[in-house]
Structure 1
Amino acid sequence: MNPLDNDLDNEFDLDDMDFDLINDVNDISDAPPSSSAKKAKSLSFLNDIPVHVTVEVGAKTVTLKELLEIKNDSVLMLTKENGKALDIKVNGKLFAYGEVVVANGHYGVKITDIVNKDID
Structure 2
Amino acid sequence: MTFQPRGFDFLKDVDVRLTVELGRTSMKLKDVLTLSEESIVTLDRMTDELLDVMVNGKLIARGEVVAQGDRFGLRIVELLGTEPDAGPAPAPAPKRAAKGDAS
Could you state the TM-score of these two structures normalised by the residue count of structure 2?
A: 0.70
Alpha-carbon offset, residue 104 of structure 1: 2.3
Alpha-carbon offset, residue 82 of structure 1: 1.4
- For the pair shown, the structure with the greater C-alpha radius of gyration is 2
Counterpart AA for 1:65: K
Provide the aligned length of Structure 1 versus Structure 2: 80
The answer to whether structure 1 residue 85 and structure 2 residue 17 are counterparts is no
Counterpart AA for 1:85: L
- Aligned CA RMSD, in angstroms, stands at 2.0
| Runs ≥4 residues deviating over 3 A | none
Supply the distance in 2 between the matched residues of 1:47 and 1:56 (Cα, whole angstroms). Answer: 24
Q: Percent identity?
A: 34
The answer to whether structure 1 residue 51 and structure 2 residue 22 are counterparts is no
Could you state the TM-score of these two structures normalised by the residue count of structure 1?
A: 0.61
User: Cα deviation per residue 1:57-90 (whole Å; 9 max; x = unaligned)?
Assistant: 1111111111001112111000011110001111
Gaps of 5+ in 2: 83-103
From 9, 14, 28, give the equivalent of 1:63: 28
Give 1:98's aligned residue. Answer: 63
Query: Which has a greater percent of helix?
Result: 1
Gaps of 5+ in 1: 1-25, 27-38
